[in-house]
Copies of this chain bind each other. A is one copy, B any other.
Amino acid sequence: VRPPILAIVGPGDGATTDDLRRAESLGELAAREGWVVLNGGVASGVMDAASRGARAAGGLVIGILPTADPGSASPHVTVPLITDMGQARNNIIVLSADAVAVCGMSPGTAVESALAIRHARPIVFVAAEGATRTFHERLAGNRPAYFVESPADAIEQLRRLFGQRA
Contact = CB atoms under 8 A, between A and B. Distances in A.
B79 A84 contact: no
State the copy count for this chain. 4
A136 to B, nearest CB: 8
A99 to B, nearest CB: 14
Contact of A81 (B80, B96, B135): B96
A161 interface: no
A56 interface: no
A84 B134 CA distance: 30
Interface residues of A, number: 44
19 contacts: A2-B78, A2-B79, A5-B79, A81-B81, A82-B92, A82-B96, A83-B91, A83-B95, A87-B91, A87-B118, A88-B88, A107-B114, A108-B114, A110-B118, A110-B139, A111-B115, A131-B138, A134-B135, A135-B135
Interface string A106-148: 1110110011011100000000001110110011100100000
Contacts of A81: 62, 64, 81, 92, 96
A3 B79 CA distance: 8
